[in-house]
Amino acid sequence: MRIHCKILTIALCLGVFLLLYFFGGNTADDPPPPPPPPPLLRHTAEDRKLPSFPAASALGKIVSLKVGKPPEAPKQIRRENSRGGNASAKLRKKSEHGQSGLKLPQGEDVMHLAVVACGNRLEETLTMVKSALLFSIKKIRFHIFAEEELKEQFEKELSRWPRPLSSKLQYTLYPITFSVGNAEEWKKLFKPCAAQRLFLPVILKDVDSLLYVDTDVLFLRPMDDIWKFLKAFNSTQLAAMAPEHEIPKIGWYSRFARHPFYGVTGVNSGVMLMNLTRIRSTLFKNSMIASGLSWEDLLHPLYQKYKNHITWGDQDLLNIIFHYNPECLYTFPCQWNYRPDHCMYGSNCKGAEEEGVSILHGNRGVYHDDKQPAFKVVYDSIHDYPVEENLFQSLFYPLQTKFLDTVNTLCGRVPQVFLKQIEKTMKAVFEQKVVRHARLPRRQRR
């Protein structure tokens, strides 16, 4: 018993000794508690709410050392990411249009648009200019060729435009001039002054690329979109036009032409996109001189040879030129030059049925008579639209309502063809103006 008591006493003493030993040793080895972080560091971590980045020890050191001012490394990374995003967007955009042999000037932010107005075409021209300015994104430089008696009227009318349009308007007025041949003969070729378009590469020597349109053309979407076709040109193409017709059996050229023309149905020159630099530097094949002729040297001999066989004047001459030089022409779909021919014999422009009309061409005077009310409704709506008022309330809704009266007409039977693209365009304009500060991810915007 005594032995057991002694052993128990020794064990208890040993346990107390060990407890005292471990407790005292740990206390001596622990470092003093760290001081609380300075107020500036706590404030910086909370208020800056720095974005998370991939693990990088160097970046962590920079952030912890530079306590007094915002760290520079995260900003640099954001800028690099932004540049990378823009580069990716450009690559995607380029892939959409294919490889291009055309190099547009760097920093080119201005689009050039030319129109020729003679006789009673003042109001039509002003309405065309208005439609281009309403929807386009980049700046447009207008080159207006007009008879002397119309110049003053243009300046007077354009000076009255409200600021939303006048602030974006840049234009130059030119006289009607022809560099070769008899000026009066050129002026009376087909419609008054229409042949002026043939001389644009010669007159506008400082312009690289240009969109020419007839006065009876209306933009139902931004001009920027047709301007992008320049990037789709290959290394030999220097102009773009739409076919004159989609169906050879009812096309004019395929049935009645007495001269060479482009392709199966010919092309319509009412909307013509041109790389003027290439046109000026190209020798064009022809049926007169084997070595080829420059654009300026080709026009007058070509006219002299075919003047007794052409019906549509300058358009026929363009068809002859591109008949012998088909590799120089890019053809864009019919919705970019939509005319009564595309609906008066039944709907035959599939692109317009799917996407809507992009550019409306009211030839045959349909804006001013009752032969094709669908065309007239669009023209009147844009002509009468009060610029400073809401696009949907004062332009689209009245246009939509007026179309109800055209559904029993040849072209009015397919109202979505006329309304689809303009509705889409106005939505985009609204979002740009009203929701311009909302930055959605690129994939969502596309």
Helix (H, G, I), strand (E, B) or coil at 50: coil
Lowest mean pLDDT among 23-27, 132-136, 137-141: 23-27
Instruction: List all residues 6 or more positions away from 422 whose beta carbon is below 8 Å from its beta carbon.
Output: 220, 221, 356, 357, 378, 396, 399
Q: pLDDT band for position 28 (50/70/90)? A: very low
The amino acid at residue 266 is G
d(CA 145, CA 140): 16
With 60 as the cut, is the pLDDT of residue 251 above it?
A: yes
Mean pLDDT of 132-145: 95
Mean pLDDT of 99-105: 39
Average per-residue pLDDT for the chain: 79
With 60 as the cut, is the pLDDT of residue 213 above it?
A: yes
Mean pLDDT of 311-317: 90
- Please report the pLDDT score of residue 179 as a whole number: 75
Lowest mean pLDDT among 231-240, 277-286, 380-389: 380-389
With 50 as the cut, is the pLDDT of residue 101 above it?
A: no
Mean pLDDT of 113-140: 95
Tell me the CA distances in angstroms from 147 to 142, 227, 323, one per residue in order: 16, 28, 32
Token pair in block for residue 215: 């006065």
d(CA 233, CA 103): 10
Q: pLDDT band for position 39 (50/70/90)? A: very low
- Please report the pLDDT score of residue 219 as a whole number: 98
Residues 221 and 134 sit within 8 Å (Cβ to Cβ):
no
Helix runs in 223-370, H state only: 223-227, 252-256, 276-280, 295-306, 314-324, 350-355
Token pair in block for residue 47: 């208020």
- Please report the pLDDT score of residue 197 as a whole number: 92
Residues 145 and 174 sit within 8 Å (Cβ to Cβ):
yes
The amino acid at residue 373 is P
Sign of the CA dihedral 249, 250, 252, 257?
Answer: positive
- With CA atoms as reference, report the closest residue to 196 among 181, 218, 209: 181
Highest mean pLDDT, choosing among 77-86, 91-100, 318-327: 318-327
CA 142 distance to own-chain centroid? 16
With 50 as the cut, is the pLDDT of residue 56 above it?
A: no
With 80 as the cut, is the pLDDT of residue 360 above it?
A: yes
Sheet-wide strand order for 139-146: 169-174, 139-146, 110-117, 209-213, 267-275, 239-243, 329-331
- Please report the pLDDT score of residue 231 as a whole number: 96
d(CA 313, CA 106): 37
With 50 as the cut, is the pLDDT of residue 352 above it?
A: yes
pTM, entire model = 0.73
Token pair in block for residue 219: 């933009």
Mean pLDDT of 31-41: 43
Tell me the CA distances in angstroms from 166 to 130, 358, 387, one per residue in order: 10, 24, 11
- With CA atoms as reference, report the closest residue to 302 among 260, 348, 239, 352: 260
Task: Kindly state the percentage of the chain with pLDDT values over 70.
Answer: 72
Q: pLDDT band for position 256 (50/70/90)? A: confident
- Please report the pLDDT score of residue 12 as a whole number: 67
DSSP code for 36 = P
Strand partners, 140: 111, 169
- Please report the pLDDT score of residue 82 as a whole number: 36
Which of 324 and 392 is assigned the larger pLDDT? 324
Mean pLDDT of 56-77: 34
The amino acid at residue 164 is P
- Please report the pLDDT score of residue 160 as a whole number: 92
Mean pLDDT of 138-166: 93
Place of tokens 């979002």: 431
Q: For 360, phi and psi rounded to 5 degrees?
A: -100, 130
Mean pLDDT of 68-75: 37
With 60 as the cut, is the pLDDT of residue 242 above it?
A: yes
Highest mean pLDDT, choosing among 217-226, 338-347, 399-408: 217-226
pLDDT (tens digit per residue) in 318-342: 999 999 999 999 999 999 999 999 9
Token pair in block for residue 252: 């004019």
With 70 as the cut, is the pLDDT of residue 426 above it?
A: yes
Mean pLDDT of 226-250: 95
Helix (H, G, I), strand (E, B) or coil at 327: helix
With 90 as the cut, is the pLDDT of residue 7 above it?
A: no
Lowest mean pLDDT among 70-84, 108-122, 165-179, 312-326: 70-84
Q: pLDDT band for position 70 (50/70/90)? A: very low
- Please report the pLDDT score of residue 436 as a whole number: 56
